[in-house]
Structure 1
């Protein structure tokens, strides 16, 4: 049963991650193709971060308080599929501004709904396998998500070229329905089963354990969300190291203005095809996977500050190179290097964020840090869109590269903040 749950969950995660990666590229390509505006593409690219900032904490509380988290996950996936179908209908039945506004609204609703997926998954994961297998489940999930992203980024461009945007969206909607169908077959383990299971003679113990868990889930402490949130903010503000890391994480995310501009970059600056964009995204994901495989050994040889400064300096150099028009195969290489330059420091930064916060505050403070870290992304995306419309997409990479050097200088001045052994 436990291995079956693991297989079903990882398969579901693979399918939905595949669908999500395809959707992101399809919808940004479509919006730019219809509007011709980099700003519109930037707005669409900002919806994920806006929903994470506003809807994420609420979704987390909702998932925690749900008595049926598995059903919540299933319906979140189904609604995602339905919303994608609604987008297809809008594309066929509407035109002009009505079509664009409908797509914007539906994408916003999809992102809000999709924000339920991660907390719902996090809620049910400890219920799928014994306690000593949770880390293995998370590891498999990470691998499956990366492979799905790699595959999705690779085939999305080909889907656009072969079956068009609407055909790609139909394929995308199917992935969400399949994911919901797969995950519906998992069996949530009882508290005792999660500890390794007991014999049938211990039915009374099982019943008692279940009742205790249910009592814990409905205890008054669960309703002190507002108080806990305020305490988390206070803790973050009072501790210099945590405050500095949060501010730096927020500032570095301004560089993410390049993400929605890749579509414009390939369309206008490189005058390339959707297939080329798909290959570039695949190379980007390959760089991320490679970083995940080597970060363990790198972190043993270098200090956190060295990894962050070196990685972000490397990232800044690559961004400056992308200001220039190189042959397409060089751009693919840049994609691979970007994946490395983004992921290595990001993993290290995430590690620092976790280690510098004590256990009793870690959950809420980490959530607040994530929310603050993404707060500037929508604004930076809009600025990137304005730069691309006014000067050209390659100037977005020039600006991002210069900004990245400023961030490297800031991190270098505060390098002891990232070396957790000094805290």
Structure 2
């Protein structure tokens, strides 16, 4: 039964990520294509972020007392509702910027309800000896969905148009919702947290976990910076088109899938903490090289390598988190970390959009490299607690 539920969960997750990724890639290219504005991409990203901050606070509270499956189902409903509303505005040729903002809300509300709830559900499938494998497989499922999305989105944008991509996205989310609804999930110990361990007293006692959350989420912020920077970088810096953009973004997913697949074998031979520091250093070098790059073919290769870096950091650190944090608090702590991440993401998005418009599109990757430097320094500061707790 558990294997069947896990298969259903992973299948629904792949389809969901396919829909979300396809709409995100197409939306970013639509903004560059029609409005020629990196700042507008950053504004859209920050609407997503602000909505996510609000939703993360809600998720932090409700995950302690309601079933995570119903929270995830509500995330699908919000996503579908806002995409349908945006599509109506586009079809009726009404306020197209409002439609763009509604799509940003769809991502902000939908993802930030779904992510902590899905981690709570994923935790129910794990045992002591399969945690890394389960997390690696979950990372693969996410990247497979995003990979397929980026592969097809640029081509679909060119030949069927943005509005039809929204129709496809709605169909994918509805399909994913139907499959996810078949997952059997019940949290056996879903009692009020104050009967066991309280969230904020626990975090005050284990203060280093606040910094762990920042390090864990810096790869997410880095991915978002790449997402914000890449359309302008491809179009204005490298003179590419939507298909070039789709292929380049696809290579990130190829790298991520490959890295997630080989990760369970790699960690048998390398010290995990040293591997994390190496990958942070490697990502800093890649960000710097991308800022200096002038060739589209090389950019594709560098983005592929970046795809191999960030999911590995996330997977290793999240696996360690599941070993450290009490299971009754895991969903709430992930939601709290997500809230902090969104605050940082807001400033990162704003900085990327402004700097790219005023200085040059390649500077988005300088900001990315700086972000990864911060992550490596924080990790070095908490390395002892991370290893021994």
2:87 aligned with 1:88:
yes
- 1:209 — aligned with what? none
Q: Could you say which residue in structure 1 is the equivalent of 2:20?
A: 20
Query: Does the 8 Å CA contact 1:15/1:175 hold for their aligned counterparts?
Result: yes
| Secondary structure class of the residue paired with 1:375 | helix
The structure-2 alpha-carbon separation of the partners of 1:408 and 1:271, relative to structure 1 and needing over 3 Å to count, comes to same
SS across alignment from 2:76: helix
Partner Cα distance (1:390, 1:190) in 2? 51
Is the 8 Å Cα contact of residues 283 and 372 (structure 2) preserved in structure 1?
A: yes
Corresponding position of 2:41: 41
Of residues 205, 215, 226, the one that matches 1:235 is 205
2-structure distance, mates of 1:189, 1:41: 37
Aligned twin of 1:266: 234
Instruction: Return the alpha-carbon distance in structure 2 between the equivalents of residues 376 and 289 of structure 1.
Output: 26
Provide the aligned length of Structure 1 versus Structure 2: 386
Does the C-alpha gap of structure 1 residues 133 and 291 become closer, same or farther in structure 2, counting only changes over 3 Å? closer
CA distance 1:111–1:410, shift in 2 (3 Å): closer
- The Cα shift of 1:339 comes to 0.8
Of 267, 273, 282, the match for 1:305: 273
Deviations along 1:185-213, one digit per CA (max 9) or x if unpaired, are x273789xxxxxxxxxxxxxxxxxxxxx6
Q: Which of 174, 177, 183 is equivalent to 1:177?
A: 174
The Cα of 1:384 is off from its aligned counterpart by 0.6
Instruction: Report SS of the residue matched to 2:239.
Output: coil
2:184 alignment counterpart: 188
Q: How does 1:239-254 map to 2 (within 5 A)?
A: 241-246=208-213, 248-249=215-216
- Offset of residue 4 of structure 1: 5.3
Unpaired stretches in structure 2, ≥5 consecutive residues: none
Q: Under a length normalisation based on structure 1, what TM-score does the superposition of the two structures give?
A: 0.77
Partner of 2:254: 286
Residue 126 (structure 1) shift: 8.2
Preserved CA contact (<8 Å) 1:305 1:418: no
Q: Distance in 1 between matches of 2:83 and 2:320?
A: 37
Name which one, 1 or 2, has greater alpha-carbon Rg. Answer: 1
Instruction: Give the whole-Å Cα distance in 2 for the aligned partners of 1:122 and 1:319.
Output: 29
Task: Tell whether the 8 Å contact from 1:153 to 1:279 is kept in structure 2 after alignment.
Answer: yes
On the 8 A contact 2:28/2:41 being kept in 1, the answer is: yes
Q: State the shift of 1:333 in Å.
A: 0.6
3-state secondary structure, aligned to 2:15 = helix
Output the CA distance in 1 between the equivalents of 2:39 and 2:19.
25
Quote the RMSD (CA, aligned, Å). 3.6
CA distance in 1, matches of 2:359, 2:276: 31
Q: With structure 2 as the length reference, what TM-score do the two structures score?
A: 0.83
- Would you say 1:344 and 2:312 are equivalent positions? yes
Contact 1:305-1:416 within 8 A present in 2 as well: yes
Deviation larger for 280-289 or 252-261: 252-261
